[in-house]
Structure 1
Amino acid sequence: MPQIIRMRYIRLSVVLLLAACGDGGSSPTTPPTPPIPPTPVATSVTVSPTSLSFTSIGATQQLSATVKDQNGATMSSASVSWSSSAASVATVSSTGSVTSVAEGSATITATSGSANGTAAVTVAIPAPTDTIITVMVADSAASSITVGNQITLPIMVDMTQAAGLDIASLQVKVTWNASIVTYVSVTPGTFGSLTLNETDVATGTFLANLFNGTGTKESFRALLLTFSGTSAGAAAVEVEVTTAGNELGQSVLDKVTTRKHDVTVNN
């Protein structure tokens, strides 16, 4: 076949081929529709911390919950509900705040959808290292007045460290330097009945017997003593406990400690 005829035949074949395939892609192609991502679903809940320990009643600690979906992504806006397996031991608020109620164990559960996570709670009140009833003169260790002025000093009984003890009877002996301060009067406190022996107050000695038939485990003011400044100087008002008994009539004197109060009288 002559060369010219062969070239014309090739060109014609190309033209026919292009016509069969269209205009060479000048028409736009519709892009494929992207797949719709799946709706996030809570599949795991992690509670932090995973355990709480309480050593006192009425204390609070905070828990937090992290919710993740099926792809492991954090769902920061996911709603979380909280519950306690033993509300008599520990309660939990709608925000994950846990409050100790009584000794024991509880499980706190955080739930989001069908997923949940837990934290273990233990409430254990340690036994005091030493059980002490403190009988003290006044709320503080020292005070000052001027000559001719008065000061009232309560005899305080502190039961805050007397775990498991009650007190029903108490005899106290109060002494002071009568040349610096003089006794003026006594007022009963909040504890039971009061029997007084004021015969030696002129020389600086005062005796009081207190009795409460049902006993108490609460701190209280046994009585209030009023003194007047007589002359300039320092005087220690001291208390001695000669008898202390519980509701069963048993002595608790070995559990008692005392604290004095220093009074400075100025001109």
Structure 2
Amino acid sequence: MAGNTSAPGVTVTSRVLALLGAFDEHHRALTLTDLARRAGVPVPTAHRLVAELVAGGALARRPSGEYVVGRRLWDVGLLAPVEIGLRRVAEPFLHDIHAATRATVHLAVRDGSEVLYLERMRGRASVPVVSQIGSTLPMHCTGVGKVLLAHAPDEVQRQVLQSLQRVTRYTVTQPGLLQQQLEGVRRDGVATTSEEMTLGACSVAVPVMRDDEVVAAIGVVVRSLKRDRAGLVAALQVAAQGIGRSLG
């Protein structure tokens, strides 16, 4: 029995990772019982391991008794190569977009079949935004996600197209229509959404390229694209080219 646990093949490390993996953008605070259930770990074992994680700063316990991700995990996450390189290079360009548009600005990469947000600079306008730094969202209903999906491997595109979920009444869930949109993204270098992820929010995004390879996407979230779509696209493209040159 690996790791001196009660189930064959189950190690202490795998259980710790399962406990940490129980948190996501929809489950940011969990009770011990919920943690154990979502991780598939017995409550007594969860109690012992969670206490060690709290002592080490990986988790924190609120006065209510719920557990949240601790600061130490965030500090460690910032050491990931994708964070150190891409995020640091992109930051001044994202600041320029934010200053020029006053919109919410995103930097994202593909994480399997989802889009992972590396940076978010929130705009001043009261546009609803559900993204968080370090969170993942579906690719088919976000601007940066559509950019990354359009340039993803064929198997990833097939996986996403076979499991399109409706988030709002405007979410594109027809595979044929989404394929047409992805072809447009590859042709024009621009992706847009209109209330597909969140009601009252639209987005436009462009790819960041290094040596002819799409390595990331940057985008903005605004209330409407009817008035200044061309200006937003131009600002994003200038920034994307600058990031790409800096990475190269």
* TM above 0.5: no
State the structure with more CA Rg. 1
TM-score bracket relative to the smaller structure: under 0.3
TM-score, normalized by length of structure 2?
0.22
Which structure: greater helix fraction?
Answer: 2
Which structure: greater strand fraction?
Answer: 1
TM-score, normalized by length of structure 1?
0.21
